[in-house]
Amino acid sequence: MTQSLKVALIDYGMGNLKSIKNVIAHIGEHEVLLTADPVEIDQADVVFLPGVGAFGDAMKNLRARNLDAILSEQVLVKKKPTIGICLGMQLLFERSAEGGDHQGLGWIPGHVEYLDLPAGFRVPHIGWNDLILEQDNPFFAGLGADSNFYFVHSYHAICDPQYLLATVDYGMKVTAAVQKDNVVGMQFHPEKSQTNGLETMRRFFQWAQEYRHA
Amino acid sequence: MGLAKRIIPCLDVDNGRVVKGVQFVDIRDAGDPVEVAKRYNEQGADEITFLDITASSDDRETTVHMVEAIAAEVFIPLTVGGGIRTCEDIRRMLNAGADKVGINTAAVFNPEFVREAAERFGSQCIVVAIDAKKVSAEGEPDKWEIFTHGGRKPTGLDAVEWAKKMVDLGAGEILLTSMDRDGTKNGFDLGVTRAISEAVHVPVIASGGVGNLQHLVDGVIEGKADAVLAASIFHFAEYSIQEAKETMHAAGIEMRL
């Protein structure tokens, strides 16, 4: 019997909140709260950082709501299970080169750069790509040959292999998923990756429950 | 496997119903948009495109609700186009659960809108829809022009140059419809598809004219498209998405099966 989690879906004016809310509702076990409120975030079990758009704007929006400091305490001090999706994943790193040089949240060592691909590979990288597992992890194991997920992005994270859970082959190794302790990042959109996406979300919450109670 | 080519069924929605016409006239009813979207999701569609072909603002509200209803049950990417003229229109559709929006006529009248939209929402959700018609005569070098208003109004804009300009302004994807072929079932206009695919670095979705599964194969292999969009062959159950994927896979195209 799984225990219901309180999920703080961080509302900072960037993006796909509705789609993520829909998926969590569809999974059905957890309570999801769209919030930027420090008290509500503090009461939550899980921090969910969505994000669509530009890195610089996203950081500006987080800072304007003091969420960089609020979330850092939840993530680094209280060690809450945390997930960043797409741009939300890129924000987990120290810097990004998107539209200049921007400082990120810095929860995972590494930086974000433009997809500098060989000729013939189109950017944005849009569509379904199979994951290549870089190390054992609870999120993607055993999905088989059809471990495809939906990507749409022009930048990706560069980090030490110890944080790399999965990559995809798109003219080069493109970072698909990362983890450092309680912080997980997924470049693809699990909320838009049909069966595999739903399964991955279920597994993330299962991992979060175990992490909370470990 | 690397990046798969995509099959995108398209829902042309008028007054809350999926419809399909031949060259935008002679419309046939093809069902309830939510039911149709669910069916395509179950069949393994890679994305769904929802084109609102009604003009009135009352119906626009219906569209928002319909997008919400689809997004609550269908967990694959959803693009919404038709009548997207302002950043506020985009915001509403994204909030309703759309992942991308298609900008068509508004880009022609105000190209800067594409830049504004891409800067505000990111290129990854801005699809510029181009309706092109061949204007060169037999024997002349190929030339295609942009048309608006469902293919009725010429603009004098060269389609290939226009596609490049849209990408420079921030379009993350090009949805290319051949107005000569749309609804004809004679296959994509492979010439314009290839010309634009080779001219831009963003993905190109081929549209207009699919009548059989070989046409989808041709769009990718000869037209060099990254995705193929079709409506009537799927709506009226001539073929399933799964059959289409298997045919494309058998032709050597990377597909998500």
Which of A98, A125, A156, A191 is flagged as catalytic? A191
Phi, psi dihedral angles at A112 (to 5 degrees):
-115, 130
Query: Which of A68-72, A192-196, B29-33, B188-192 comes out lowest in average pLDDT?
Result: B29-33
> Which residues of chain B neighbour A17 with C-beta distances below 8 Å?
95
Interface check A137 vs B, CB under 8 A: no
Residue of B nearest to A153 (CA): B124
Quote the ipTM score: 0.92
What does the pLDDT profile of chain A (214 residues) look like in tens digits? Answer: 467 999 999 999 877 788 899 999 999 999 999 999 999 999 999 999 998 888 999 999 999 999 999 999 999 999 999 999 999 999 999 999 998 999 999 999 999 999 999 999 999 999 999 999 999 999 998 886 679 999 999 999 999 999 999 999 999 999 999 999 999 999 999 999 999 999 999 999 999 999 988 7
Distance from CA of B220 to the nearest CA of A (A): 14
Q: Which of A32, A60, A126, A192 to mutate to test the interface with B (most CBs of B within 10 A)?
A: A126
Gap from B45 CA to chain A (nearest CA, Å):
10
With an 8 Å Cβ cutoff, are B122 and A53 in contact?
yes
Nearest CA in chain B to A24: B72
Burial of B84 (0-12, 13-18, 19+ CB in 10 A): buried
User: Looking at the domain B6-250, which fold is it?
Assistant: TIM Barrel (3.20.20)
Alpha carbon distance B240, B215 (integer Å)? 15
Label residue B246 by pLDDT band (50, 70, 90): very high
What is the C-alpha separation between A33 and A29, in angstroms, rounded? 13
Residue with tokens 């999120």: A139
Task: Tell whether the model's pLDDT for residue B23 goes beyond 80.
Answer: no
Yes or no: say if B223 and B194 are a contact pair by the CB < 8 Å rule: yes
Q: Is A189 a catalytic residue?
A: yes
- Name residue, tokens 């309680």: A182
Phi, psi for residue A23 in degrees, rounded to 5: -70, -45
Q: How many CB atoms lie within 10 A of CB A108?
A: 23
Nearest CA in chain B to A98: B122
A108: number of CA atoms within 13 Å, CB side?
31
pLDDT at site A212? 86
For A44-54, give one letter per residue: b (16+ CB within 10 A) or e.
Answer: bbbbbbbbbbb
Q: From the list A18, A52, A130, which residue is nearest B125 (CB)?
A: A52
Domain boundaries, chain B: 6-250
Residue B20 has pLDDT above 80, yes or no: no
Q: Which of B131, B182, B189, B226 is catalytic?
A: B131
In order of their start, the domains of chain A are 6-213 (3.40.50.880)
Tell me, yes or no, if A95 comes closer than 8 A to chain B by beta carbon.
no
Is residue A199 less than 8 Å (CB to CB) from chain B?
Answer: no
